[in-house]
Amino acid sequence: MSVTHSSRPPFGGHEKFVFRQGWLKKGLDAALRDPLVFSREDAFVELGVGKNMAAAIRYWGLALGLLNYIPGAGSQTRAIEPSKLGRSLLADGGWDPYLEDIGSLWLLHWLLASNQERGLVWYLIFSRYFDVEFRKQQITEFIRKQLTQMGIETTEGMVTREVDVFLRTYVPSQGRKGGNFEESLDCPLVDLNLLRLSPGDGVYRFDIGAKSSLPAAVFGYALFGFLNTIAAQRRTATVDECVYQPGSPGQIFKLDENSVMTYLEQLESLTNGALRLQETAGLRQIYLHTILPEQGYELLRGYYD
């Protein structure tokens, strides 16, 4: 799977802020009331946050796929509306408007780290960096080289800022010293414990293996999104693809083979046979009986119901 871009991704749109508890619902509710809210000079007043934070809320809503630009609204207004998933998850009366279920945080992680535009740095690190450990300088150089290979021009400072925000998405602020207080408040995704910092030597380490708090339905939502691209060309996918291929649930959730197999077995039942495991001549494969765009969404609806 290659990553190409016809234009430069919107680096810096987060204004160096990670998203915070309550921000996503605040942005979605505002967009429901007024699709043009983020185009207004006083958007920050409506949202009750600082001006840069208002821009960050828009960025994260779009990066997580909870908000979308309205097609045909014109480049001047850039009207925004909640996506179907955003409305289902965060609107009043929705599945989990205050992100109280850990499964919702796993879902947000998938939505961000599988976004190859607004979440490009997250995608590259989770899907294309294969070492378990790294230092900040190493991962910064990795991102710089990846962007160069993709023909994306940026500055060293911009890459450093993107990596800083990436790290703050998953590492608690207690593990860092100094910096702006407003910029260092924790992101809800730190609760996933996907990335740990050893303060003494400055080494970050991915948590590879089983994730007891990751629901099968959320894994299934991610898997169907991943398999949609494969299903257009063939009716089978190997288990190894689901574990190791860039953009796969195995890579983005940092799972091992046994964990992925456990989820696949659960999904055979959850999908009523739409997805089946087969082993032929020692090759473990998933047979895609039917792959429909709404299957992942229906898994989530069943989970929250």
Q: Which two tokens mark 117?
A: 């535009």
pLDDT of residue 229: 81
Considering the domain architecture, whether residues 172 and 249 belong to the same structural domain is answered as: no
Judge whether 75 lies within some domain. Answer: yes
Question: Which of these three, 98, 133, 152, is where a domain ends?
Answer: 98
Q: Which two tokens mark 180?
A: 């702006």
Domain interval for residue 43: 22-98
Rounded Cα distance, 286 and 254, in Å:
20
Residues with Cβ within 8 Å of residue 42, at least 6 apart in sequence: none
The CATH number of residue 93's host domain is 1.10.10.10
Give the orientation angle of helix 51-63 with respect to helix 23-33, to 10 degrees: 90
Considering the domain architecture, whether residues 38 and 115 belong to the same structural domain is answered as: no
pLDDT of residue 74: 56
pLDDT of residue 233: 80
pLDDT of residue 72: 73
Considering the domain architecture, whether residues 88 and 174 belong to the same structural domain is answered as: no
Considering the domain architecture, whether residues 188 and 220 belong to the same structural domain is answered as: no
Question: Which of these three, 42, 63, 98, is where a domain ends?
Answer: 98
Tally Cβ neighbours within 10 Å of residue 269: 10
Considering the domain architecture, whether residues 36 and 119 belong to the same structural domain is answered as: no
Considering the domain architecture, whether residues 54 and 89 belong to the same structural domain is answered as: yes
pLDDT of residue 2: 43
Considering the domain architecture, whether residues 203 and 103 belong to the same structural domain is answered as: yes
pLDDT of residue 231: 77
Judge whether 12 lies within some domain. Answer: no
Question: Which of these three, 47, 76, 98, is where a domain ends?
Answer: 98
- Indicate the pairing of strand 283-288 with strand 275-280: antiparallel
Q: In the chain, how many domains are there? A: 3
pLDDT of residue 48: 83
Considering the domain architecture, whether residues 117 and 196 belong to the same structural domain is answered as: yes
Of 53, 45, 52, residue with least CA distance to 22: 53
Q: Is the pTM of this model over 0.85?
A: yes
pLDDT digits (tens, 9 = 90+) for 70-101: 987 555 568 999 999 999 999 999 999 999 99
DSSP 169-211: HHS-GGG--SS-HHHHSPPGGGGG--EEEETTTTEEEE--S--
Judge whether 166 lies within some domain. Answer: yes
Considering the domain architecture, whether residues 143 and 196 belong to the same structural domain is answered as: yes
All residue ranges of the chain with pLDDT < 50 are: 1-2, 4-6, 175-177
Which residue do the tokens 């080289």 mark? 145
